[in-house]
Structure 1
Amino acid sequence: MDDEINFKPKEKKDIAFITGIYNFFILKSTATYHIRQLSKNEMQDYFMLFDPLVDGFIISIVEKAIGFCLIKPYNKDKEGYNLTYEITIYIKNRFHHKGIGKKAIKYLENIAKIKNIHVIIAGICTENIVSTKFFESCGYSKCGIFKEVGYKFDRLLDNVYYQKILKSDQPKNY
C-alpha cells in the first residue's frame, strides 16, 4: 500500500472533501473542539487553506482521496513564532492503522525542513490516546497539558501539546 499513497497539493475544488472529513470528526470525536459543522467558507478560513504560508495536501490511495494534512504557522500574527508551525492530519477512519499517518507526518516534516521551520507542534485532546501514542512514536515530545480547556459531549476536556524540534541541513535565518 505504501507505494499507492500520494500527496497532492490542495486546490479550491478540494474544499468540499476537506470539509466533509473534518465535519465527520466534529460530530463523532474529540479530535477537534468544534461543536457544530463548518461550512466550506468557514473551513477555508479556519485552516487558512489558501494562505501562501500554509502547505496543505490531499492524501490519496490510487487516485481516491482518503484524508488531508497540512502545516500552518502556529501564530501568524506574531513574527517571533515564524519558525514554529502546527501540524494537522485527518484520515478517514477505515484507513487508520495502515501507516498512512506516519507517511503524512514524514512528508510534512520534510516540507517544514525545506522551509526552515524549527519546531512543529500538535495539540491533541488527552482522550485521543491513539493520536498521542502516534505522535510519540513519530518522535514528538509531550510539552504541556492544559486542563479543562475544552468542552464537548457534555464534559470538560484536557488538551496536550506535543512538539518536535526539526534537524535541518538548511542554514537557520533567526
Structure 2
Amino acid sequence: MITYSNATLDDLPFIVEVYNSTIASRMVTADTAPVTIQSKLDWFYQHNPQNRPLWLIKYQNQACGWVSLSSFYGRPAYHKTVEISLYVHQDFRGKGIGQFMVTAIEQFAGKVGIEAILSYVFGHNLPSIKLFTKLQYQQWGLFPAVAELDSVPRDLVILGKHLN
C-alpha cells in the first residue's frame, strides 16, 4: 500500500538521504557531491501544502521516497506551471510507486489550478523518461550536452504535460 503526507522538518534528513543516494549513479541529479540538511532548508521552506507540496511517500508504512512540485522560473506569469521532482529509495523501485505518485500529484495539481507540469531528466535516465512518457508527458525541450558528469557531456530533456 502506498501512502503520502506533507513532509515535515523532521522528514528532511530522510529526504536528503534519499536524494544523496542517487548522486553516485550520475543519472538523476546534477549534484556531484552529497548535500547537507542545512543546505536544503531554504528549498524545504519554498514548499507549501496549498500549491507547492513536498510529500513524504510510504510503502507498506515505511518511508521510501518523496515527491514535490516547485515553482517554475520564479516569475508570476508562470505560476500555473510547476516542476516535479520524484525520488524513490533504490530498495523500493519497481513497485509502481513512481507511477502512483506522479498520478496523485497531478490530480492534486489540477485541483489547485496548476495547468502544466515539467520534468527535467537527463537524456541517459531511461527509467525516468519511460515513466513520464508512459504517463503522457511529451518532450518539450532538449538541451544537448549542457551538463558534464565525470567528464561525460550529458543532455537535459524537458518533459511536459498540460493538465487540462
| TM-score between the two structures when normalised by the length of structure 1 | 0.88
1:16 maps onto 2:13 in alignment: yes
| Residue 155 (structure 2) aligns with | 158
Alignment of 1:71 onto 2:66? no
2:57 to 34, 56, 59: 59
Contact in 2 for aligned 1:30/1:152 (Cα 8 Å):
no
Aligned to 2:90: 93
Percent identical pairs in the alignment equals 24
Q: For structure 2, which runs of at least 5 residues remain unmatched after alignment?
A: none
1:126 pairs with 2:123: yes
Aligned to 2:2: 5
Q: Distance in 2 between matches of 1:140 and 1:54?
A: 20
- Matching residue of 2:77: 80
Query: How many residue pairs get matched?
Result: 161
Equivalent runs, 1:132-151 vs 2, <5 Å: 132-151=129-148
1:72-131 per-position Cα deviation (integer Å, ceiling 9, x unaligned):
11122x111111000010001122121110110011101111110010000100000111
Deviation at 1:28, TM superposition (A): 2.4
Cα distance per residue 1:23-52 (max 9 Å; x no partner)? 11112232001111111021233xx22223
Distance 1:121 1:41 in 2: 27
Aligned equivalent of 1:170:
none
SS across alignment from 1:37: coil
Partner secondary structure for residue 49 of structure 1: helix
**In the aligned structure 1, how far is the partner of 2:24 from the partner of 2:52?**
25
Q: For the residues of structure 1 that align with 2:60 and 2:137, how far apart are their CA atoms?
A: 30
Is the contact made by 2:26 and 2:149 (CA closer than 8 Å) also made in structure 1? Answer: no
Residue ranges of structure 1 left out of the alignment (5+ in a row): 168-174
What SS does structure 2 have at the residue aligned with 1:21?
A: helix
Q: Which amino acid aligns with 2:95?
A: K
CA distance in 1: counterparts of 2:53 and 2:73, whole angstroms: 15
Query: Residue type matched to 1:107 in 2?
Result: A
Deviating 4+ runs (over 6 angstroms): none
The RMSD of aligned alpha carbons is 1.1
Q: Letter of the aligned partner of 1:102 in structure 2?
A: Q
